[in-house]
């Protein structure tokens, strides 16, 4: 189990930075929901596949998070996302990664209507292979691999209304099986 404490001082300094920024627009605190869709690259290490070679697949990423932003800019959220390679007629569905996450971060609203949201969290992931192409830690199960890992994520958005913001989310993290890198279009709606 890997535990990284380096982001804690970073998040604390970002909260202090946000508290000192004066801006005309007030931060909208409370619940918000953020659906996302984008492109991801799933890279599996050679020791994670039964072929014993590195596998890299472009995938479609979809997901949603539900978060709470406090009046002092700290955000906590939970979410679900899935990514996989597939075709319209189901002829190929070799890999799918599902992630359940919890995260904490800081929502920084700038005077010009931009929003920067760095996050750090923990997630449980399930990596599935339709054709049994994974080396798993469960004897007899060659279709699923499951574990927990830490992650970081960065979102940049432009507010287009009092409680609506549109933007991009970037995530590039090492996992037990390899790496998942994604760019996703993200919309946030205040509830």
User: Per residue in 115-174, pLDDT tens?
Assistant: 999 999 999 999 888 766 666 665 665 678 889 999 999 999 999 998 899 999 999 988
Residue 88 within a domain: yes
In a domain, 182, yes or no: yes
> Phi and psi of 19, rounded to 5°?
-65, -25
For residue 40, is it within any domain? yes
Give domain status of residue 2, yes or no.
Answer: no
- The two tokens of residue 52 are 């014993």
Q: What are phi and psi of 139, to 5 degrees?
A: -60, 135
Q: Does 43 map to a domain?
A: yes
Query: Higher model confidence: residue 43 or residue 37?
Result: 37
pTM of the predicted model as reported, rounded to 2 decimal places: 0.77
Q: pLDDT at position 1, please?
A: 47
Tokens representing 29?
């605190």
- Is pLDDT at 24 greater than 50 in this prediction? no
Looking at the 3D structure of the chain, how many domains does it have?
1
Domain hosting 164: range is 7-190
Q: How far apart are CA 77 and CA 104, in angstroms?
A: 6
Determine, yes or no, domain membership for 52. yes
- CATH number assigned to the domain comprising residue 179: 2.40.160.20
pLDDT tens for each residue of 92-112: 557 889 999 999 999 999 999
Residue 1 lies in a domain: no
Residue 113 to residues 108, 157, 164, Cα–Cα distance (Å):
10, 9, 11
Q: Are 43 and 178 in contact (CB under 8 A)?
A: yes
**CA atoms within 13 A of residue 119's CA, in its CB half-sphere:** 30
Is residue 61 assigned to a domain?
yes
């Amino acid at each position: 189990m890997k535990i990284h404490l380096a982001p804690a001082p970073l998040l604390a300094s970002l909260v202090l930075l946000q508290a000192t920024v004066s801006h005309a627009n007030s931060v909208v605190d409370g619940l918000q929901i953020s659906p996302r869709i984008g492109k991801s690259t799933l890279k599996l290490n050679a020791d994670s596949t039964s072929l014993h070679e590195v596998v890299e697949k472009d995938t479609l990423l979809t997901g949603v998070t539900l978060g709470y932003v406090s009046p002092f800019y700290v955000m906590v959220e939970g979410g679900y996302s899935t990514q996989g390679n597939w075709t319209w007629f189901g002829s190929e569905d070799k890999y799918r990664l599902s992630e359940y996450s919890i995260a904490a971060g800081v929502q920084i609203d700038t005077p010009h209507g931009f929003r920067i949201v760095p996050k750090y969290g923990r997630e449980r992931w399930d990596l599935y292979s339709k054709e049994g192409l994974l080396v798993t830690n469960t004897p007899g199960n060659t279709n699923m691999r499951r574990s927990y890992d830490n992650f970081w994520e960065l979102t940049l958005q432009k507010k287009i209304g009092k409680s609506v913001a549109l933007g991009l989310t970037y995530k590039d993290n090492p996992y037990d099986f390899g790496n998942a890198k994604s760019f996703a279009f993200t919309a946030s709606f205040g509830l």
